[in-house]
Homo-oligomer: A and B are copies of this chain.
């Protein structure tokens, strides 16, 4: 069992000023190698190609989610509907909720169909330092933590603290990503929101007097998604990253003789990656391979790695898939004629593929936000707020077509072909 630390530990944090650790359990979890590994995985993947300040790691964010959750437990303490025995459970979940993330998760998950939530479960329940520490609490404790992260727990209240439309995870990442990118959009009054949160039956609700602060938070989220998370330049680098992974897999399957074999990726290609292999993957490893592959003979792999490392990204144009789809085969054919493989160099990317989850009441897995009215009843947020209603009703998609701009200026390519490409891109 764990006790309270003799002396509180603090981490200096630019977003929350200080992060306070008073529980032995939390202190030991932070020290595990699985958690320390998050230092080598950036929170926003390739976003720093667009916003150079955004180089912060998932370690950084995980501590922030923990701290917000800790403040929630302080506020909930002594309130009806809050079980003080859930405090350490909530804190452990907050700290570990992202522990299954690998490098550039979004692209890896797309190409290899991995799932960071599945890996979180395996790290928590498997043969790991994290698991050994959680088990010291209680034999069932790892399972309790995993269930909440997997959203299968019956403890809905703790679940809603970490995973809902307005949870510690989102509140931290909006503030943190805004801080590191330097944009002004992610600001909202965290302290006010915490002060109006209440445990109520099996969910966290918001006192109605705090509605405007929640509106402000929802708007921040909306702005951050379109201004930062879905930024077309970031998506361009993700497109290249995905294509590198696809190319390596393809070359491996075709028996290509690598100068630098993709040793860390083999089990991933084979779909039978072990926990040990998974934990070895971090951004350093990926960068190491990409650097090495700049010297491979395969021109596509070599070129894409060079583009990624030296930020020679693809150009993009707006693209409306329905109307223009008929020109697509023509464009592919022209690229092929220009000696540029369209399966790697002509990419359509839609932001609706991405985890866009600006508030939609009741839809999907996430619970709506409930306001606690003065008479004790609950009302769903969008029924009270014009602004939220406006956003929640509308799905927005954004299609972009990515391609290397140099294809249009490469004098080795026939002028006529280039003109045709140019012309198609203009009208598409």
- Checking B180, B188, B386 against A184 with a beta-carbon cut-off of 8 angstroms, the contacting residue is B188
Residues of B within 8 A of A12 (CB): 51, 53, 181-183
| Residue from the list B40, B53, B288 in contact with A14, Cβ < 8 A | B53
Chain B residues contacting A286 (CB-CB under 8 Å) are 284
Residue A223 at the B interface, CB < 8 A?
yes
Number of interface residues of A (CB under 8 A): 66
Q: A287: which of B51, B282, B386 is its contact (CB, 8 Å)?
A: B282
Please state if A11 and B223 are interface contacts (CB–CB under 8 Å): no
Question: What is the bound-complex CA distance between A14 and B191, given in angstroms?
Answer: 13
Q: Are B56 and A53 in contact (CB under 8 A)?
A: yes
Chain B: which residue is nearest A19 at the CB level?
B52
Asked if B39 and A191 sit within 8 Å, CB to CB, the answer is no
Bound Cα distance from A307 to B134, whole angstroms: 22
A227 — which chain B residues lie within 8 A by C-beta?
212
Of the candidates B17, B36, B42, B310, the one whose C-beta lies within 8 Å of that of A36 is B310
Most buried by B among A11, A55, A183, A312: A55
Please list 5 pairs of residues, one from A and one from B, whose beta carbons are closer than 8 Å in the complex, sorted by A's number: A13-B182, A36-B309, A39-B52, A212-B226, A386-B394
Given contacts A14-B181, A387-B222, contact A55 B52 (CB under 8 A): no
The reply to whether the CB of A31 lies closer than 8 angstroms to some CB of chain B is: yes
Q: Which residues of the other chain, B, contact A179 by a CB distance below 8 angstroms?
A: 14
A33 at the interface (CB under 8 A from B): yes
Q: Are A33 and B387 in contact (CB under 8 A)?
A: no
Q: In the complex, are the beta carbons of B287 and A291 less than 8 A apart?
A: no
Q: What is the bound-complex CA distance between A18 and B184, given in angstroms? A: 12
Of A57-65, A321-329, A412-420, the one touching chain B: A57-65
**A48 touching B53, Cβ below 8 Å:** no
Contacts of A312 in B (CB 8 A): 31
Task: Please report the C-alpha to C-alpha distance between residue A51 and residue B192 in the assembled complex, in whole angstroms.
Answer: 15
Contact of A387 among B188, B309, B390 (CB under 8 A): B390
Which of chain B's residues have a CB closer than 8 A to the CB of A219?
A: 216, 219, 387
Question: Does A337 make an interface contact (CB < 8 A)?
Answer: no
From B48, B60, B282, B309, contact of A52 by CB (8 A): B60
Contact across chains for B48 and A39 when beta carbons are under 8 A apart: yes
- Chain B residues, Cβ within 8 Å of A11: 52
Chain A residues 185-228 with CB under 8 Å of chain B are 185, 187-189, 191-192, 195, 212, 215-216, 219, 222-223, 226-227
**Are B183 and A184 closer than 8 Å at their CB atoms?**
no
Asked whether B40 lies within 8 Å of A287 as measured between CB atoms, the reply is yes
**For the complex, what is the distance from the CA of A195 to the CA of B20, rounded to whole Å?**
11
For the complex formed, measure the closest distance between the CB of A240 and the CB atoms of chain B, giving whole angstroms. 14
Q: Which residues of chain B come closer than 8 Å to A354, judged between CB atoms?
A: none
A55 touches B56 (CB 8 A): yes
Residue of B nearest to A228 (CB): B12
**Contact between chains at A187 and B189 (CB < 8 Å):** no
Cross-chain contact A216 with B309 (CB below 8 angstroms): no
Q: Are A309 and B33 in contact (CB under 8 A)?
A: yes
Inter-chain CA distance A394–B384, complex, in Å, is: 13
Question: Is residue A311 contacting chain B, with contact meaning CB distance below 8 A?
Answer: yes
A81 at the interface (CB under 8 A from B): no
**Residues of chain B lying within 8 A (CB to CB) of residue A266:** none
How does the 8 Å CB contact mask read for A58-97 relative to B, with 1 for contact and 0 for none? 0110010000000000000000000000000000000000
Q: A23 contacts the other chain (Cβ, under 8 Å)? A: no
Interface assignment of A347: CB less than 8 Å from any CB of chain B: no
Judge whether A334 is part of the interface by a CB distance below 8 angstroms.
no
Cβ-closest 10 pairs across A and B: A390-B390, A14-B182, A284-B287, A288-B288, A33-B310, A284-B284, A184-B189, A14-B53, A36-B310, A12-B182
Q: Complex Cα distance A291/B280, Å?
A: 8
Nearest-neighbor residue (CB-CB) of A42 within chain B? B55
